[in-house]
Amino acid sequence: MAMSNIDQVTSLHKNNELQLLCFRLEKGRDLYAVNVFKIREVVKYNGAITIVSHEPNSLVEGLITIRELTIPLIDMRKWFFYDPAIPSKDLRNYSVKRNKGEDDIVMICEFSKWTIGVRIYEADRILNKKWTEIEQSAGVGGNSGNGKLVSRTRYYDGKLVQVVDIEKMLIDVFPWIEEEKNKEMENIGQVTSTKKILLADDSPIVLKTMQSILNRLGVVHLDFINGQKLLDYLLSPDTDINDVGLIITDLEMPEASGFEVIKQVKSNADLRHIPIVVNSSMSGTSNEEMALSLNADEFISKSNPVEIEKAVNELMLR
């Protein structure tokens, strides 16, 4: 099952809509979802799994090879029971359960220039939604809490569908990605600008990383958990827009997406001078083309300190 093409996704974004692939981690249990734009395909896999770690706390099941591409396989159900505060916790009993001889169901996910396989119990259907129908998750409790769920919406029959923060999963599984960012951060310098940056992202882990980068650059920034909150601030009569030097926005956010932010800012004569940087984990040039076709000024791969420093220097000081 292959996922959507770029033209379809472009038109979805322009209409402030998204498509979610719904899936389950156990038979007949809760529905979860990931934006289809992050999923290349869903496959049945019965090939070899090359074990890379025999540790009972490992989140990586091993390496699998699909169409000559070797990628890490992560069991999402194990990650749901993983707690960063207890990194040595034995996760072996929490894997997705299948009957003997049944193929694994694997979502091939592409984002932040990474390709990974994610084991699930079953893929369900694709849900078309408006971003206004997506609610921010307010720290959903239980094992599925810990910031693993970023938003929620409703299935066709009104059942709850919870959207997974897949960036958080990547950082939990490969902590060295974050360590590399921290190293890169040591090489960036201060920016001299009295103007402020408006930042919007619905992932708490991404907001935290971005805050660290912008603090390191020494710029004043206001942070918003979705595009609508940023727009509300920007369009408020109490806001002095001359103080705003730059907007940095994610694309996928509840209530109003990054595309909606770009559209509203660039179509407003009083605001269109404000440069907009898209900070997105969506891989590939097609997304850059899409953001730029909507008049964004720059596209950076998710929270890259060097790219952010360059964009801030080029766009805020001009």
pLDDT digits (tens, 9 = 90+) for 186-213: 888 888 788 999 999 988 888 988 999 9
pLDDT at 141: 36
Q: Rounded to two decimals, what is the model's pTM?
A: 0.85
Confidence of residue 144 (pLDDT cuts 50, 70, 90): very low
- Identify which of 57, 39, 24 has the alpha carbon closest to the alpha carbon of residue 160: 24
Give the C-alpha distances (Å, rounded to integers) separating 38 from 87, 166, 281, 316.
27, 9, 9, 31
Amino acid 245: pLDDT: 95
- The backbone region for 302, taken as left when phi is positive above 0, alpha when psi lies in -120 to 50, beta otherwise, is beta
Query: What pLDDT score does 136 carry?
Result: 84
Would you state the pLDDT for residue 6? 57
**280/278 Cα distance (integer angstroms):** 6
pLDDT band at residue 285, thresholds of 50, 70 and 90? low
82-107: pLDDT as tens digits: 998 898 999 999 999 988 889 999 99
CA distances from 182 to 40, 137, 187, 216 (A): 29, 28, 9, 11
Q: How many CB atoms lie within 10 A of CB 235?
A: 14
**Picking from 64-78, 135-149, 183-197, which range would have the lowest pLDDT averaged per residue?**
135-149
Identify which of 194, 248, 253, 254 has the alpha carbon closest to the alpha carbon of residue 223.
248
Q: Identify the pLDDT of residue 318.
A: 55
46-70: burial string, b at 16+ Cβ within 10 Å, e else: eeeeeeeeeeeebbbbeebebeeee
Q: What is the mean pLDDT of residues 129-135?
A: 91
Q: Please state, in angstroms and rounded to a whole number, the distance separating the CA atoms of residues 37 and 65.
A: 22
